[in-house]
Amino acid sequence: MKKLLWILPVVLAFLAGCDKTEIYSPSPETPPAPEHKTRFAAARDNLIIGGFVYTPEGFEGKRPAIIFCTGLDASYAATEPYALAAAELGYVSCCFDFCGGPDEKINSLSGGKKSDNSILTELQDLTAVYNVISAREDVDPDNIIVMGGSQGGLVAALYAARNPSNVKALGLMFPAFNLPDLVRNGVHDKIGETDINLIPDSLFPQEFEGHKFYKKYLVDAMSLYPFEEIGAYKGPVIILHGDQDTYVPLSVSEQAKEIYDDAELYVLPGQGHGFDAVGEAKAIEYLEDFLSELFPDQA
């Protein structure tokens, strides 16, 4: 059973430098939250999914909406700068915590345990959030964008692939499409063909640099082959990726761009896995241009 320590050198080495909350935290330049920032809640399997909705001021009628998905171990605050920018442009924006998703040191808005969290449970959370946002009186259900960073990008892409008619457009920031392969390769290298479901739960979690890794997460990740299914989404896609990302190499997004029918990839020089204040500002600029082309009459 000691062979299970593959988790430390392989997958957690990947996680150690990426998706940490501080990478996604709003920069000091982030403007204060607008007056029209309100709490919302969705439900999934008797769990509450909590988040915030940012509504635009000075606009009437039903508006396009953007749902933002945060990365592994990060809270809703990681995506708030993008939601604030979108709200200023007239979009109803939503940020939320995945159930069991944020680091356990963070006071999560959502229920659930870290041991029950996985990429697939986050996909279920996104589905529940989508249903709540699309039913709002101020949202145009035919014009909803789903966007996410790192693992949140993977979750967003899977949702779009499995529910293409629900997604007007897809936004991805350094999407972790390589994560399932990292898990599979680590398992194969260290425990061969052993069924991971047979490994006692008592050996979990494994921890490295503050990240806890549970069996459910591993099992669910091993079932995913993102590049085999993301192409089911045929709508417009914007991909933002730093050229210094060592955790999700730029080549991952380059491959995704070739798979999607209608995708634009913007490379941010000097940016790693998670954008600093300069990269964040540039990413928002690209997002604004993308939205203006997508909805030229909405402003």
Predicted confidence (pLDDT) at residue 12 exceeds the cutoff of 70: no
Q: Is residue 222 part of a domain?
A: yes
Domains identified in the chain, total number = 1
What pLDDT is recorded for position 190? 65
What pLDDT is recorded for position 30? 46
What pLDDT is recorded for position 297? 78
Enter the pTM of the model: 0.89
CATH of the domain at 98: 3.40.50.1820
Six-digit token pair at 24? Answer: 């996604």
Q: Is residue 163 part of a domain?
A: yes
Burial of 127 (0-12, 13-18, 19+ CB in 10 A): middle
Residue 253 CA to its chain's centroid (Å): 14
Predicted confidence (pLDDT) at residue 114 exceeds the cutoff of 90: yes
Q: Is residue 118 part of a domain?
A: yes
Q: What is the DSSP string of 87-100?
A: HHTT-EEEEEPPTT
Residue 270 structural domain: 2-294
Q: Is residue 299 part of a domain?
A: no
Q: Is residue 129 part of a domain?
A: yes
Predicted confidence (pLDDT) at residue 120 exceeds the cutoff of 60: yes
pLDDT in tens, 154-213: 999 999 999 999 999 999 999 999 999 987 887 677 677 778 888 888 878 766 545 677
